[in-house]
Amino acid sequence: MPEGIYEQLQRWKETKDLALASDICEEMVNSISEWYRRDANVVIAEVMEWGRDKHLNDPKAQLNKVIEEVGEIAHEITRNKYGSPELVDAIGDSLVTIIILSDILGRHPIKCLDSAYQEIKNRSGKTENGTFVKES
């Protein structure tokens, strides 16, 4: 049986081994990340339920929200604010608006995502100026 975190901590108290302290920290960070990682399907279902609860059912109104939120991503990126909390917020808001738009249109967002990915994953082409250009 592998040594658990409490046994490692005990051993660290005795040895004060810095390499062991580093391993313990890394393991704790990983387990905390795992704890907070929620299943994407659960989050998506909750977002769709939220949209339905709020009676969001107008595709054009929802499209305006999508554009507004993507515009907020653009606002951060064009100002080189790659690490800003506002960028994280804008990406999350964009995903929420797209999920709700999909639901309004009677499409499951993961099915849309998967069918797009199945089509693009085997495309041949090359990346030019940071953009993938498919072979025609």
Q: Pick the closest to residue 76 from 94, 51, 49, 61 (CA basis).
A: 94
Output the smallest distance, CB 136 to Mg ion, in A: 36
The SS3 assignment for 113 reads helix
Residue with smaller CB distance to Mg ion, 9 or 95: 95
Is 93 a residue that touches Mg ion (CB under 5 A)?
yes
Total residues binding Mg ion (CB under 5 A): 2
Q: What is the CB-side half-sphere exposure of residue 41 using CA atoms within 13 A?
A: 2
Taking the least distance from each CB to Mg ion, the nearer of 23 and 93 is 93
User: Helix 109-120 and helix 40-53: axis angle, to 10°?
Assistant: 130
Tell the smallest beta-carbon distance from residue 68 to Mg ion (Å): 7
Residue 70 or 112: the one with the smaller Cβ distance to Mg ion is 70
73 interacts with Mg ion by CB under 5 A: no
Q: Which positions lie near Mg ion, rule CB under 5 A?
A: 72, 93
